[in-house]
Amino acid sequence: MKRKFGLSDLAFYIVAFILVIIVMIPFYWMVITSLKSKGALMALPIQWIPESPSLKSYKRVFTLFPFAKAIMNSIFISVVYTLITLVSASMAAFAIAKIRFPGANGVFSLYLMSMMIPTQITMIPLFIIMSKMKLTNTYLSVIAPSLFTAFGIFLLVQSLRSLPDDYMEAARIDGAGLFTTYKSVIMPMCKPVLATLTITTFMGSWNDYLWPLVMLSDKKKMTLTLALNSLNGQYGTEYNVLMAGCLISMLPIIIVYIVAQTQMKQGITVGGVKG
């Protein structure tokens, strides 16, 4: 029997609709500002619909700074950072959750404790290490921290612990080694969690500002966040150009989320199951 649509349901949808509108207003403002000419930015009354929309600000953003190069830098760094995180975190989680070597719980506890340490505290030691290794102002210096991702290990361990050990036993009986079991049996069953980790890692790397700022000084190697900061500093009054740059920087994140949103929702649910 279907439940009747009552006043409480109507009130819920009305409130939800109002909240969606409120949340979307800043995004809509970014879009219309990027389409306005410089003279229309301060026009009164405010033009909620641009009278003469133009894409000039999108063209201008590529002339003020090597923006295309910054986009490619961010894509390269974010993709490599994400891939390394997925491989290193999944291998570590597999060892902790399924191999159960002596001291596995202690190692996992150390990983969890490391999540409580603010990133800013580890930044100076990391910078000293990168300087000693002569890696400053290189892509590798920005990517290297991906080798250790406590959050990714925690997320995957919770998922792996929910899988029955029967799969490991069946693979062993069939003659599969540990790496084959990891690659062909266990990891395919963790796709939702891996999708969640992919999106969160990619977003974190794409939006990271402080660490690339510390490591990179060459304009040709700067990421998109550094390029946007440069625009904000030199062309702070050209809000249409700034908004155009911000919208361009958001596109990859939106595309990645749209592609993997279903898997991400499942991964959040699975990752929250207590092992």
- Model pTM? 0.79
Query: 175-185: per-residue pLDDT in tens?
Result: 878 888 888 88
Q: What Rg value do the Cα atoms of the chain yield, rounded?
A: 24
pLDDT band at 275 (very low <50, low <70, confident <90, very high): very low
Query: 29-55: per-residue pLDDT in tens?
Result: 888 888 877 666 666 677 777 777 778
The CATH superfamily label for domain 56-271 reads: MetI-like (1.10.3720.10)
Mean pLDDT of the chain: 81
pLDDT band at 79 (very low <50, low <70, confident <90, very high): very high
Residue 18 has pLDDT above 90, yes or no: yes
Query: 238-256: per-residue pLDDT in tens?
Result: 778 888 888 888 888 788 7
List the single range of 33-37, 84-88, 194-198 with lowest mean pLDDT: 33-37
